[in-house]
Structure 1
Amino acid sequence: MGEVDRISDLPEEIKVTILSYLPTTDAVRTSVISRSWRHLWTFLTSLHAHLDSYRQSIGSTESFGRILSSFRGPIRHFSLRCFLHDSNQSCLQHFLEIIFRKCGLWALSVNCMHLPVSVQLPSFRSLRDLHFEWIDISLPSDFGGFEQLTSLKLHSVWISQRDVQLLIDGSKKLMSIELSIEHFKSPEDAAPGERPSLVCLNCPLLNSLRFDFTEKNEAQLRIISAPCLESAHITAGTMVSRTVEGLVRVGAATLNLMPDIARISHLSLNSEVLECLPFSDVEAPVPHTLPVHFRQLRCLKLIDQTCYMDETMFRVLCCFLRSMPFLENFELQCHNLGCVAERDGGPFNKYKKKVDGYLCLDRTLRRVAISMKNLRGLQDVMWMLHFILLNANVLELIEITYSNDNKVKPRILEGLCEIDKASTNAHVVLVNINDMG
């Protein structure tokens, strides 16, 4: 009995749905199956491709343009990762214009992984999700905004302050913004040396914000109005200068932003932000609290992948904890905690005792997660555990995770069990820890 081709007997719309789950190049190859499959791929509404003009992974840029033109209906989702020769950079503009003429685009994601490619962004009226990475962006003179845009992600882009402001102001439905601007392009009429860099947000529906400060682009942010903002992730890039001028400039930008995000419930900061605060210098006095109090904040995440949590940085952390009276969850991702000199009779010993002035430790902090790597052993975190366990009255869980398996001596684990706890419900969970005994 011969085999029955049941798939080819399916209704055309079902076969198109099946093709939609395949990579675009595989979907195009199904045209050789039979005459009934020859043009099915042209009815797809999503295109996800990797274009490499060096390795010709899906053919030449010209053939890819013909594939785009062959789609019969609107392309709803277009995602492209590409490596392009200098001579082929204009093809990306051509691709976007083809999609623009078809109308109906909902999601656009382009990542030029080799070097920034210049494009003038068409006014996609139905666009809901825009993600550009390593793109040199400009807007047409008649740009009218994206009426339906809810998510804007610009990572390592080149753009003028005018154009990024037009993007934001012309998208009143924005709910999520991620801005990492590699370079602010100065307008042609800018004075010599002038680099406008202030981005203002007036977004009535904005819920989530990510913004990268770097000394390289001198970017600053001002939130005019964002009543729905709940989550903010603020970073300072690794290019931040460690000069006094650099600290003051970026630190002032961060401090100026704090009143604007004081009502959020989730805050994430990287260590460079803390280091760039003017009072993080070892010679500068650390204030008792921040200039503003985060009374709505429930979750705080600090990310430190490059440096150590030393004495000064811990005083800055204490300043943050005093300014967040209702904090419930605290997460710390760090490279290391302290050093041998500090652990053995050093300044951290004064934090191994009961202290006052932390409302969140007294009333609300219930969960602490500490993730570390490249440590010598569990003893490196003992002083921090002393501080938390002795002062967090309602603590329920401390979770300690090492990125690599670490072996610790039994006496260290015994010492951990002997730490006095302010909360009788507190549990300490160790992940990726091996007992040497």
Structure 2
Amino acid sequence: MAAPRDWISHLPLEIQASILSHLPINEAVRTSLLSRQWRHVWTFVPRLQITFSVNRRPPDFIRIVYHLLLFHRGPVRSFHLSHFLYPHFSGDVQLFLLALYRKGGLQDLRIDNIGHEKYNLRLPYFRSLSYLELSSCHLTLPTGFNGFDRLTTLDLSDVEISKRDIESLISGSNNLSFFSGYIRTEEEPMSIEISSPSLYDLHIVIGDTVREARVRFAPTLECARISVCCPEWRRFASDYIKILGDLTGVTSLSLCGTLLACLSQVPAPATMVLPFHKLIVLELRIGTISKEICDGFACLLRLMPHLELLEIEGAYGRPDQLGPPPEDYWEKQEPFHCLNHSLKRVYTNYINLDDVHIMRIIRFILLNAKVLQLMDIGYSDHSEVQPQILEELNKLQMASSDGKLVFYSPGGSHVSTNCPTAETSGSASSEDISQDM
């Protein structure tokens, strides 16, 4: 009987190298021991992913990267380096980039510094670069740099960069569609301006050293995620919320609780932020429920007349220095246009069902959202589920005749499902629930 033919060994070199690119780089290199024919196949692998190993000391790891790049023969399309990159390794990382630049064709560059110290990085001009992800470094760009022509994704996490460099990197990359930035500066607190003809999704952290961020030109922007990270947020609240006035054309918006509280610190926030007439999705990431956060939430509901989907995440309701809202806070609110005409779905994730403040928000929505189709309540693992709370919400007269109320645990198990209507729900009135909460 004839021996089975080795089909893989007869494939073209490009296909063999592509197959090996799906293996960890150390396993790809080991294929060189299979036979003489496979000895150099790994050197043509188009993707190099080199990650931290607890069994390797940092100097040994750096030496391994040198050897990989030295023996690699083909172009490197994707290079991903993840390790402790201490400041004294800055020169080594720079030589790695120089080697990649000379090979040409790099499209995907990711350098993940998992250490606490920043290294220095001077980025060469990679003509084919479409994806750039950097973390924990001091980044400088070449003199006269004006963006990457093919860059579509830019992700900077805890990166120190000058105002000139970050603005030229964004505005000069004409095909940029996604930008995520948690950037710092050694200069005085700065204000950055974002201009991009093709930007679709923006994630940015303001506060700390970036005092103000403005979106000056982004005609294709649809999604935005804004966070504030600053212990002195009250002092600069009016600066932080200015970016909201530049985002009135987006369809999806994600905000942190601190930014909501910033809205409450401005005497007339509605005069600084125009209505979000196109917005249909709002995500709120809330660590605590305070009066300031409730004020900001109420302000947003007034500015979003066509909101269809609301998601509230992480509302644990632990007391803090801000102080809780009054018991009758939501009862005193005037009707919101979105609750009367557009809000159809509400999702809550990792909330505490024992927290009366978040439960009052849920109750307010159930009693006032006239076209609500689904209220999906996902509670925290640490939440002690009280049966009477579930029963009270199930008996509540919902404003929507087609509304559905669902409770579920993080594991996906449903606790209670009900479709109460104004005609068939239980006898508990809104006053009864208010007293219990």
Q: Corresponding residue for 1:192?
A: none
Tell me if structure 2 keeps the 8 A contact 1:202–1:223. Answer: yes
Decide whether the 8 Å contact of 2:205 with 2:226 is kept in 1.
yes
Mapped to 2, the partners of 1:166 and 1:377 lie a distance apart of: 49
Q: Deviations over 1:200-246 (max 9, x none)?
A: 2221111011110122x134222221110000100011xx133xxx4
1:229 to 185, 202, 221: 221
- Is the alpha carbon distance of 1:230 and 1:413 closer, same or farther for their aligned partners in structure 2, counting shifts above 3 Å? same
1:71 offset after TM fit, Å? 1.9
CA RMSD of aligned residues (A): 2.7
Tell me the TM-score normalized by structure 1. Answer: 0.85
User: Residue 31 of structure 1 corresponds to which residue in structure 2?
Assistant: 32
Change (3 A) 1:220 1:107: same
- The amino acid of 2:10's aligned partner reads L
Amino acid at match of 2:273: P
Alignment of 1:110-259 (within 5 A): 110-114=111-115, 115-181=117-183, 183-186=184-187, 195=188, 197-215=190-208, 217-237=209-229, 240-242=230-232, 246-249=233-236, 251-259=237-245
Match of 2:326?
347
SS at match of 1:263: coil
Tell whether 2:341 aligns with 1:363: yes
**How is 1:22-421 mapped onto 2 (pairs within 5 angstroms)?**
22-51=23-52, 55-56=56-57, 59-114=60-115, 115-181=117-183, 183-186=184-187, 195=188, 197-215=190-208, 217-237=209-229, 240-242=230-232, 246-249=233-236, 251-277=237-263, 279-280=264-265, 291-305=273-287, 308-337=288-317, 347-352=326-331, 356-373=334-351, 375=352, 377=354, 381-404=358-381, 406-421=383-398
CA distance in 1 between counterparts of 2:304 and 2:271 reads 9
Q: For the residues of structure 2 that align with 1:423 and 1:5, how far apart are their CA atoms?
A: 67
Structure 2-normalised TM-score? 0.85
Residues 351 and 288 (structure 1), Cα distance of their counterparts in 2 relative to 1, 3 Å cut = farther
Deviations 1:262-318 (A, max 9, x none): 1100000111212233x34xxx7676786311111000111013xx21233212211
Deviations 1:32-69 (A, max 9, x none): 11111100011111111114698338944123212113
Unaligned residue ranges in structure 2 (runs of 5+): 417-437
Distance between the aligned counterparts of 1:144 and 1:317, measured in 2?
40
How far apart are 1:74 and its partner, in Å? 1.4
Local SS of the residue matching 2:234: helix
Asked if the contact 1:371–1:403 (Cα under 8 Å) also holds between the matched residues in 2, the reply is yes
Q: Distance in 2 between matches of 1:130 and 1:412?
A: 48
Contact preservation (8 Å) 1:361, 1:394:
yes
Task: Tell me which amino acid in the other structure corresponds to 1:377.
Answer: D
CA contact (8 A) 1:32 1:38 kept: yes
Q: Offset of 1:404 from its aligned partner?
A: 0.3
**Residue of structure 2 equivalent to 1:191:** none
Kept after mapping to 2: 8 A contact 1:235/1:273: yes
Structure that is richer in strand per residue = 1
The CA distance in 1 between the partners of 2:68 and 2:56, in whole Å, is 18
Structure 1's unaligned 5+ residue stretches are: 187-194
Q: What is the deviation of 1:386?
A: 1.9
Cα distance in 2 for partners of 1:89, 1:268 equals: 36
Equivalent residue letter for 2:231: S
Letter in structure 2 aligned against 1:399: D
Question: Residue 87 and residue 196 in structure 1: after superposition, are their counterparts in 2 closer, same or farther (change >3 A)?
Answer: closer
Deviation at 1:169, TM superposition (A): 2.5
Q: Indicate conservation of the 8 Å contact 1:301/1:332, yes or no.
A: yes
In 1, distance between residues paired with 2:57 and 2:353? 47
Q: Is the 8 A contact 2:18 2:46 kept in 1?
A: no
Quick check: 312-321 or 227-236, which moved more? 312-321
CA distance in 2, matches of 1:332, 1:385: 10
Opposite residue 416 of structure 1, the aligned amino acid is L
Alignment check: 8 A CA contact 2:276 2:305 kept: yes
Pick which of 96-105 and 196-205 moved more: 196-205
